[in-house]
Amino acid sequence: MNYKNLGFIIKPHAKGLKEYLEKIIEILEKNDFNLLFPQGVKQLIPNYSTFPSEEIFEKADLIVVLGGDGTFLSAATRAAEKEIPILGINMGFLGFLTEFTKEEFINFIPLLKDNKVSIGERSLLKVKFNSKSFIALNDVVFSKEKIARMIFLKVLVNDVFFSNIRSDGLIISTPTGSTAYNLSAGGPIVTPVSNNLIITPICPHSLTLKPVIVSSGCKIKVEVIKGNDTFITIDGQKGVTINEGDIVEVFEDEKKLKVISNPKRDYFSILREKLKWG
């Protein structure tokens, strides 16, 4: 594939953004790339054309994210729906999803021009509730909408009873999302290419209730047993209130997110760096 048209999704208040944009614009234009920048950074590059995000996703051959993991998540599902690869440059704090440093991306530009890139695929979650449908790269989280009380959920896997769960919440995660909220809640790290889903209770009332890994082909159903103020959050980006008796279906989506890999890093080097392993 020829990555001629680069669409940018950018965290507008990232430290050092203006200087970095000026630097990469000069290099990318010298390498004959067409650049599509969002309207939110117009003040940083006043002499450069900007576009609505919808137009960027229509015209781009590749989405380049400048920001942290939150910015990456905001672009990921739209990129997947359009079947456009995505590349993340870390301008944030942790950066599990944004694999490239600013300097690494600059050094990567000749490889991108010559199409010498490696693309990995990441699983996505489909979350269905009544007539609503959402896509998630990391996770769907069930929690209390207001005060800190336990929620009461019934969980089935492939229509087989899994457990009734009294807890502060519940996370259903992809392998990509295993290093997000799932990890903070005591769930396992799962390599992104694994064909699994992770079910992780958050502070369960039963101390013997532990995270469970199931096949990515499983369909998970979560029913609210009690209460009318349970909230589901999709990738930390979108949310909706569900009530007693409501059932949410969670399963792997047919589409995959295509991610351009950093040739200077493998997954375990990212873990060592981000988690401060030896």
89: left (phi over 0), alpha (psi -120 to 50) or beta: beta
Contacts of 259 (CB under 8 A, 6+ apart): 85, 86, 87, 88, 99, 119, 120, 121, 122
Residue 32 CB: number of other CB atoms within 10 A? 8
Q: CA 123 to CA 252: how far, in whole Å?
A: 7
Helix axes 17-30, 102-113, angle to 10 degrees: 20
- Residue 69 known to be catalytic: yes
Q: How far apart are the first and last CA of the chain?
A: 38
Q: CA 9 to CA 60: how far, in whole Å?
A: 11
Q: What are phi and psi of 154, to 5 degrees?
A: -110, 130
Q: Which helix (H) or strand (E) segment is 150 a member of? A: none
Q: Which of 69, 70, 248, 213 is nearest to 143 (CA)?
A: 248
Q: CA 143 to CA 206: how far, in whole Å?
A: 17
Contacts of 111 (CB under 8 A, 6+ apart): 117, 263
Which residue among 32, 69, 246, 253 is the active-site one? 69
Return the amino acid letter for 39: Q
User: Known catalytic residues?
Assistant: 69
